[in-house]
Amino acid sequence: MAFPGETLHLGADPICPCCKHRARMGVYHSGAGWYIGSYCGCGPYTRESMHYWHDEDQARSAFKTGEWERR
């Protein structure tokens, strides 16, 4: 579960307050796996997907088709 303002979908400012760059949605990787989220000029900005994927192709397919659950 995400709190209001924690994700772009739930109201986070799409412009990073630190670097002033617009957050870019995409598929990214962390220690937990592949996720759908956003990056700004500073680095990771939000994690939008509820789940992580073990495989990059699966995450990219979910992002492309819109078949993923939001936080």
Per domain, the residue ranges of the chain are 9-71
DSSP, collapsed to helix, strand or coil, labels residue 15 as: strand
What pLDDT sits at residue 4?
83
What pLDDT sits at residue 5?
87
- Which residue has tokens 């412009």? 15
- Asked whether the beta carbons of 27 and 35 are under 8 A apart, the reply is yes
Q: How far apart are CA 32 and CA 51, in angstroms?
A: 10
Percent share of the chain, pLDDT over 70: 99
pLDDT at 1 over 80: no
Model confidence band, residue 2 (pLDDT cutoffs 50, 70, 90): confident
pTM for the structure as a whole: 0.90
Percent share of the chain, pLDDT over 90: 90
Tell me, what amino acid is at 38? S
What pLDDT sits at residue 21?
97
Q: How far apart are CA 41 and CA 24, in angstroms?
A: 9
